[in-house]
Amino acid sequence: MAEADGESTMRPDSTLDATGLLCPLPVLKARRALKAVPAGGILEVLATDPGATKDFEHFCQTTGCVLIEASEQPGGILRFRLKKPG
């Protein structure tokens, strides 16, 4: 999973709890939540759908966001940290 230097320890500007949601809802809700995040800000997304890893990789490739972290937390929670372009 991806992790960039130093940015994974930065406090997110917003956190989206998408646990229990199945594809494509975590990505769709993240797209909406990013609107409130300032340019260069970080959105943290918590999800449980195993397909979310590939979904967020593709989402970042198509939107210009940087996937600064994709990790699995205790309890099977997937954590994604996206840096908004700008």
Q: What is the mean pLDDT of the chain?
A: 92
- pLDDT value of residue 6: 60
For residue 75, how far is the Cα from the chain centroid?
A: 18
Q: pLDDT band at 8, cuts 50/70/90?
A: low
State how far the Cα of 16 lies from the Cα of 30, in Å rounded to an integer.
7
CATH topology of domain 7-83: Translation Initiation Factor IF3 (3.30.110)
Domain boundaries, the chain: 7-83
Q: Give 44-79 as a 3 state SS string.
A: EEEECCCCHHHHHHHHHHHHCCEEEEEEEEHHHEEE
23 catalytic, yes or no? yes
Q: What is the mean pLDDT of residues 65-70?
A: 97
Burial degree of 73 (CB within 10 A; 0-12, 13-18, 19+):
exposed
- Selected catalytic residue, list 2, 10, 21, 23: 23
Q: What is the tens place of the pLDDT at every residue in 69-86?
A: 999 999 999 999 999 999
What average pLDDT does range 32-48 have in this prediction? 97
Record the pTM.
0.89
Which residue shows structure tokens 């996937």? Answer: 67
